[in-house]
Amino acid sequence: MRPTDMQRIGAELAIRWDDGTESFIPLEKLRQACPCAGCKGEVDIMGNLYKNPDKPLTPAAFQLGHIANVGTYAVQFFWGDKHNTGIYSFEYLRRVAAAN
């Protein structure tokens, strides 16, 4: 499953998928779902989760700057608070959209 088009429309990310379906994900939800190690944490070989303490996000955190492709399997979002380390696989994006 791959997106054929992806655009910010107002406070949402609109995605058209190659199966013809469309998803609309609120930017706030998308930012809060950031999969990077700093936001979601990392699990060691024993299953222990290590992550940064949760911090409040400013309004700039929900402003999407631009989107960059990562290979042929994911995208990277550049947020207004300078956060850009999350790599959202297309599969993960589809799951975030379905949880809407």
Residue range of the domain that includes 37:
3-98
Residue labelled with tokens 């399997």: 73
Give pLDDT, residue 59: 94
φ and ψ at residue 92, rounded to 5 degrees = -65, -45
What digits encode the pLDDT tens for the residues 56-100? 899 999 999 999 999 999 999 999 999 999 999 999 999 999 986
Rounded to 5°, angle at Cα 69 from 14 and 34: 65
What digits encode the pLDDT tens for the residues 15-37? 999 999 999 999 999 999 999 99
pTM > 0.85: yes
Give pLDDT, residue 100: 62
Query: What's the domain count of the chain?
Result: 1
Which CATH number fits the domain that encloses residue 87? Answer: 3.30.2020.30
